[in-house]
Structure 1
């Protein structure tokens, strides 16, 4: 059977930039973007046009930030999508390439962040599993100093974004993708976890705060009900815009009451 034609809407670099301005994106600001290309419609130029539209809306004085996480640089014993045979685990641990911010591809965050990662002039933070990439005049201050034993806490780009007055753009993405909620997890008492990953000198195990995005959709629903969130569409994508600081402060209060039980967190590696 022939492939059916796209149903649209037809989206271009210019209509993306226009939609972002209508939503409230301001030239010169710093924007943390979580995105879904497929939600936008039929984009002429694909993910490249989306990044161009974001940069057009921000202008030369603005800074674009995206998550470029590498969830695949982790212990194969915990893989489930898909799992691998147990007899492979030791070989995988021994041969998995260590993180290199210049070449390690992002994993599980979509094609738009991966496009930003490889964009001319983009900078990337140092954490092997939860890095961020940034383009713009504030990029260095945001990505530098990301501690390799602090995924999404005070020594991560999230805390820098909060201090800079950055905003979050959910571009067709839901609150389950909202990484700044994790910064709140670091600020309330919670369990620790031990995570295995490839390091510069072989396999290493690092202790960090245990985090989970379970109930982030519910948290986001309550946040949007109680706090100002700009709502609109960019192309066909339902989009949201709000300050990082507002989201983190609300999440600290919400998680203190609704935080998942300890059994819901990842268990420490052996």
Structure 2
């Protein structure tokens, strides 16, 4: 006999699960989500966003990554790489980033819904922007430094200042962007040249370069497993999937120490 499918999930049932998980009314939460593992959602990403806003209330703020990873130096692309003779074509032809219209890419349906929701604000970084919806949004996305893209001049640091939460829905810590802030807080992180297409003051576009920290999330799954072992992460059902909720400040502080250990001794 074919087993019955799981029940559909609604705005109300999702909100109940998020409350049980510990989402704080009036809080600020950075959400990374893959909706497929959550099962059948009545209303899709809209049901998830509305449920989050129901739990957070009018004083709460939702933040999502609105990154545009294809607006970056094609010489660094690896998934998939492109031929070297394409690089100048891409640098010359990539549309300049416009925070009002450039879609996020590979961030998921929930992130794109937040970006386009009435009243949402977006930071103006051409590669790793964030979108936010709620009373704290303006302070979070303002003055996103191009050459400090996920460091102290980024929305991640503003979230740290606010003692925000991180909510992972249907994804693990490999998608936990806040852990990159810990890379910036290492004594001498490796650096690289970065590039992206931006708009110019006269309405044109240009390719710009800057020096920044070389991001590396390869170890984030292991880092996250060690973080969960400390009890700092609450796990619970959201839809048919798993939600992970943590204080961003606690996760970043743990990651700063974890990354400082010699490789191979992280679990010591």
* Aligned-residue RMSD, C-alpha: 1.8
**CA pair 258-54 structure 1, distance change in 2 beyond 3 A:** farther
Moved more, 134-143 or 192-201: 192-201
Matched, 1:226 2:230: yes
Structure 1 segment 4-15 matched on structure 2, within 5 A? 7-15=5-13
Query: Given the superposition, is the C-alpha separation of residues 38 and 208 from structure 1 closer, same or farther in structure 2, using an over 3 Å criterion?
Result: same
Flag the 1:65–1:251 CA change in 2: closer, same or farther, 3 A. Answer: same
The answer to whether residue 186 in structure 2 is matched with residue 195 in structure 1 is no
Residue pairs, 1:133-144, within 5 angstroms: 133-144=131-142
* Residue matched to 1:96: 94
Q: CA deviation at 1:239?
A: 1.0
1:37-88 deviations in whole A, cap 9, x for unaligned? Answer: 0011011111111111111111111000011111010122333333334333
Question: What is the CA distance between 1:196 and its match in structure 2?
Answer: 1.9
Query: Equivalent residue of 1:242, what SS?
Result: strand
| Cα separation, 1, equivalents of 2:63 and 2:185 | 23
Using the TM superposition, name which of 15-24 and 71-80 deviates more.
71-80
Supply the distance in 1 between the matched residues of 2:251 and 2:161 (Cα, whole angstroms).
13
- Name the structure 1 match of 2:182: 184
Residue 107 (structure 2) aligned to one of 109, 128, 138: 109
Q: Could you tell me which residue of structure 1 aligns to residue 256 of structure 2?
A: 252
Give yes or no for contact 1:60–1:136 (8 Å, CA) kept in 2: yes
Q: In structure 2, what is the Cα distance between the partners aligned to 1:151 and 1:49?
A: 31
Count of matched residue positions in the alignment of Structure 1 and Structure 2: 257
Q: Deviations over 1:220-239 (max 9, x none)?
A: 01011114221111111111
Using the TM superposition, give the Cα deviation of residue 259 of structure 1 relative to its aligned residue in structure 2, in angstroms. 5.5
Distance 1:247 1:258, change over 3 A: farther
Match of residue 131 from structure 1: 129
Calculate the TM-score normalised by the size of structure 2: 0.91
Aligned match of 1:74 = 72
